[in-house]
Amino acid sequence: MLGKCAVPLLIASGHEVTGVARSEQKVSQLESVGAQPARVSDIFDADAMHAAATGCDVYLNLATCIPSLESAWKSSAWRENDRIRSEGSAIAAGIARDLGMKVLIQESIVMNYPDCGDQWIDETQPIKVTRRTASGEVAERNALAVASDTLRSVVLRFGLFDAPEGSHGQGMARFASKGFAALSGRPGGFISGVKIEDAATAVVASLDIPTGIYNVTGDNPKRRSEIAAQLAVAAGRKRLVMFPGRAALLLGDKNVGAVARSQRVSNAKFKSATGWSPS
């Protein structure tokens, strides 16, 4: 989803883009916006990925495989995403280093921050991983490990994507139509999101910044109760039933902590470094 939105913006900014395509549909999508498709059947094939990236100055590792809301409770549903975050990020970092690239951009998440209540969270806050999100920390570590005087490694910790056409946006709509808000944790807790279009402009803006970790979120994180109220309006209902916050916490922080925590994340560092601003 993020790559699909970012590629046309990169091309409009004057960049030549090569995109990995694992299907003919992806080949067509890339060609339709002016990108060069590189046919790779397996993104874990390091040699194939190396060949696809040869000649490029920047490696954008935006691959993910987040399960649907309905299946996210199953550990097995996260295996592919975990492999992408761990093995895939190691391959990306190695290629960027070995090919002498100038920039490596690694997608990550703000969900690994701890519950900080109403307090604003910036990049100096130590993270607290869960079983579902630990691979995100691995991806960050792999990317930053190859940073050098000639290779800038930039980790973008994105907020929850606000993408109505995405699997989670569709899942939220399905639950809301049945009278439920697919939100875990206390109603007063904060969720930091970012519109997918803004996330894509952030990718373009990140090409010229120094090595480091940057939060990419909207300016105004919302409380779960606010999001639930907006979902209710969208679904044509007076209110939605929320998953009880205490019940979510009883499942244990290591299991559901990332989705039940209050995370009021600041984007000030990224805005200062790039001049970017979310719509």
Radius of gyration of the chain measured on its C-alpha atoms:
19
Identify which of 206, 222, 208, 19 has the alpha carbon closest to the alpha carbon of residue 107.
206
8-state DSSP, 276: -
What residue type is 205 in one-letter code?
A: A
DSSP character for 277? Answer: -
pLDDT of residue 255: 52
- The alpha-helical segments, DSSP class H, found in 79-195 are 79-83, 89-98, 134-145, 167-177
Within 8 A by CB and 6+ apart from 220, the residues are none
Amino acid letter for position 216: V
Pairing verdict, β 264-265 and 190-191:
unpaired
Residue 279 CB neighbours (<10 A): 9
What is the pLDDT, as a whole number, of residue 165? Answer: 83
pLDDT value for 184: 85
Give me the helix-helix angle, 89-98 and 46-53, nearest 10°: 50
The per-residue pLDDT for 245 is 54
CA end-to-end span of the chain, whole Å?
18
Domains defined for the chain, CATH in brackets: 2-274 (3.40.50.720)
Place of tokens 């200062």: 272
Q: Three-state SS for 105?
A: strand
CA 173 to each of CA 69, 183, 184, 193, 240: distance values in angstroms, whole numbers, following the listed order: 11, 12, 16, 16, 12
- Yes or no: say if 274 and 122 are a contact pair by the CB < 8 Å rule: no
Distances (CA, A) of 240 to 85, 170, 173, 175, 273: 34, 16, 12, 9, 40
pLDDT of residue 71: 81
The whole model's pTM is what?
Answer: 0.94
Distances (CA, A) of 160 to 2, 24, 102: 12, 29, 28
Tokens found for residue 219: 């300016």
Going residue by residue through the chain, which has 279 residues, state the pLDDT in tens, using 9 for 90 and above: 899 999 999 999 999 999 999 899 999 999 999 999 999 999 999 999 999 999 999 999 999 888 877 787 788 888 999 999 999 999 999 999 999 999 999 999 999 999 999 999 999 999 999 888 899 999 999 999 999 999 999 999 999 999 888 888 898 999 999 999 989 889 999 999 999 999 999 999 999 999 999 999 999 999 999 999 999 999 999 999 987 655 555 445 555 567 889 999 999 999 999 999 999
Indicate the SS3 state at residue 215: strand
What is the per-residue burial (b if ≥16 Cβ within 10 Å, else e) of 71-94? ebeeeebbeebbebbbbbbbbbbb
